[in-house]
Structure 1
Amino acid sequence: MARSSRQIALLVNPTAGRGRGARSAVLAAARLREAGFVVRELVGRDAEEARELGSAAVAEGPEALVVCGGDGLVHLGAGLVAGTGTALGVIPAGTGNDLARYLDLPRTDPVAAADRIVASRTRRIDLARSGGRHFVTVLAAGFDAVVNERANRMRWPRGQMRYTLATIAELRTFQPIRYTLDLDGVERRAEAMLVAVGNGPSFGGGLRITEGASFDDGWLDVVLIRPLSRAELVRAYPRLFNGTIVDHPAYERHRVRRVTLAAPDIVTYADGERFGALPLTVECVPGALTVIA
């Protein structure tokens, strides 16, 4: 195919990374056009408009949908291209960038990230699916999800401090949650601080809750953190950053193809986005997503 006929849709979250999305998109688009691609830039004012623009673009069959933003936009883009002939490219511009970390994409240089799109080397990775929705990295269904819910109700402050204050507030009253899980047909009832379902190893900018999970092994990693005191939970938190949480005595891991989670009053988050209330059934869809890596 002639280089000049290669079509790319560039879907941008201009507010990602406190405006880094917009700046990165300008540099990435220039590099892609310089390499001979026809680039259609799409900027959504909110998630719904971004979804509509991206869906319409994918329907036209571009070579790639390239998302310039954070994990939320990766989440949206993956759902749009799953099962199509369109690959997903990523120009990291958010605060988490967990898929970009796993793929070892340049996270601070949008031109270097665009060079990966130019090289067009692809690989297939798994997705996790619940009903008609997909997620890429980790679904959170416990203390972390409760913190997200509280933070989303807060109007002040903005940014990471809001999540810090929400965490402190929840720590004062949080009690272990009673879960019922179906793990490939085997029922497990347990009290836990959280349950996480990982298609990949991390979420939230490198929190390695499902350390060891791989995007291309055909499995989901289901992790429970059994009950801890508030002080123990605070002490265990830093271990998420280097993966040593797996050695904590409260850590429990299962590898499954399919899991059903049930617990009262829990709204889950996946790829950092509000996903849905429990109960939910999640299954691994091997090789469902083509990514440019």
Structure 2
Amino acid sequence: MSTQKAIEKVAVLINPLAGNGNGLTAGHKAVARLREREVAVTEIIGTDADHARKLALRAIEGGTDALAVVGGDGSISIGLQAAAQSGVPIGLIPAGTGNDHAREFGTPVGDPVAAADVIADGEVQESDLARITLGDGSVVWAGTIVASGFDSLVADRANRMSWPKGRMRYNLAMLVELSQVKPLRHRIELDDETVQVDATLVAVGNGRSYGGGMQICPKADRTDGLLDVTVVEHGRRSRLVRLFPRVYKGTHVELPDVQTYRSRTVRLQCEGIPAYADGDRVGPLPVTIEAVPAALHILSHAPA
């Protein structure tokens, strides 16, 4: 469902470190364009992720017409924590390396002026979000993919590496983890069945892609009230190497060792494995993930 909203004042959350420093440049261009469009702008730059989230939440509670986020998927995740179920729409100014949220919501990438125009135009779409509940009861919202297994171990390793920069760091971490891949015993509780499987990875999608366009859940629909689950069963390392190029087109789901499911609620259990959401570490399994319909309002020209 699409509605029109008058956008007169916007809080702009800027991550100056996004995209190897591109965030600040993109933020300045977007802010200038919004002001050209006669939108009043309040800029927010947090000292860390928690501070940024608090500032974003304060802006929403203070009555801004929209929250715009300048950065990559991690920055947008901060905005989601503040905007989820608030009714205040979020706008995206992509400035990261992956930009999977922008890809999912049809926001122009590499053109902060065009992205700012989408915000100023005020076309609001509704989208589901995935609500993750950890073992301690805390809640994290996710817009794209919740990952566990090989891919979360790769992300963990990449986050510990200081070199190389950008996507090459992720690729190197993948090669290291690939050399020591092992079966991970997952218990997956769905609405109507429980699956126990030795898996390489399990991905739960509100959206389709992660890692800069890897369509791990290619048929996910962010408006259907359901989560898509992709399970890659453990097999020979050579089979895994052949699988990953196919993920960019989403054709890996046609392989016999890849299983897919659809469920409103998913509970994941696997000893010693962390969950990642939108590229950031959430916490250790087990976690419960639930599709929450229309939890997000987003400024977008893309059809819902």
Q: Same fold (TM over 0.5)?
A: yes
The CA distance in 2 between the partners of 1:96 and 1:147, in whole Å, is 15
Which residue, out of 146, 150, 153, partners 1:143?
Answer: 150
Shift of 1:238: 0.6
Q: Map of 1:1-293 to 2, 5 A cutoff?
A: 6-131=8-133, 132-293=139-300
Distance (whole Å) between structure 1 residues aligned to residue 161 and residue 207 of structure 2: 29
Cα deviation 1:83-140 (Å, max 9, x = unaligned): 1131100011111111211222110111011111111101100000022221000011
- Confirm or deny: 8 A CA contact 2:53 2:81 kept in the other structure: no
Deviations 1:207-261 (A, max 9, x none): 0000110111111001100112111111111101111111111110000000111
Instruction: Letter of the 2:62 partner, please give it.
Output: E
Give the C-alpha shift of residue 185 in structure 1. 4.3
So what's the TM-score if we normalise by structure 1? 0.96
Secondary structure of 1:173 counterpart? coil
Contact kept? 1:61, 1:85, Cα under 8 Å: no
Q: Aligned partners of 2:107 and 2:172: how far apart in 1? A: 32
Equivalent-residue separation in structure 2 for 1:25 and 1:40 (angstroms): 12
CA distance in structure 2 between the partners assigned to 1:161 and 1:202 by the alignment? 18
Q: Secondary structure at the match of 2:216?
A: coil
Q: Distance in 2 between matches of 1:93 and 1:143?
A: 26
Hey, what's the Cα distance between the residues in 2 that align with 1:259 and 1:29? 39
Task: Give yes or no for contact 2:145–2:278 (8 Å, CA) kept in 1.
Answer: yes
Give the root-mean-square deviation of aligned CA atoms. 1.5
**Does structure 1 retain, via aligned residues, the 8 Å contact 2:132–2:289?**
yes
Asked if the contact 2:77/2:143 (under 8 Å) is kept, the reply is yes
> Any stretches of 5+ residues in structure 2 without a counterpart?
134-138
Q: Does structure 2 conserve the Cα–Cα contact (< 8 Å) formed by 1:220 and 1:284?
A: yes
Identity %: 45
Matched residue type, 2:249: N
* Contact 1:269–1:275 (8 Å) recurs in 2: yes
Q: The residue matched to 1:210 in structure 2 has which SS?
A: coil
Task: Work out the CA distance in 1 between the residues paired with 2:131 and 2:87.
Answer: 18
Cα distance in structure 1, aligned partners of 2:157 and 2:105: 31
How far did residue 155 of structure 1 move? Answer: 3.4
> Which secondary structure state, in structure 2, belongs to the residue aligned with residue 141 of structure 1?
strand
Within 2, Cα distance between the matches of 1:161 and 1:104?
25
Contact 2:215 2:250 in 1 (8 A): yes
Shift of 1:190: 0.7
The worse-fitting range, judged by mean Cα deviation, of 249-258 and 42-51 is 42-51
* Amino acid in structure 2 at the alignment position of 1:283: E
Indicate if the aligned counterparts of 1:7 and 1:37 stay in contact, CA closer than 8 A.
yes
Q: Which amino acid aligns with 2:86?
A: T
Greater shift after overlay, 157-166 or 267-276? Answer: 157-166
Cα pair 2:26 2:112 within 8 Å, conserved: yes
For residues 46-103 of structure 1, give each alpha carbon's deviation from its aligned partner in whole angstroms, at most 9, with x where no partner exists.
2122112212211212110000111111111111111113110001111111121122
Distance 1:46 1:289 in 2: 23
8 A Cα contact 1:15 1:21, kept in partner: yes
Tell me the TM-score normalised to structure 2 length.
0.92
Residue 30 of structure 1: how far off its partner (Å): 0.8
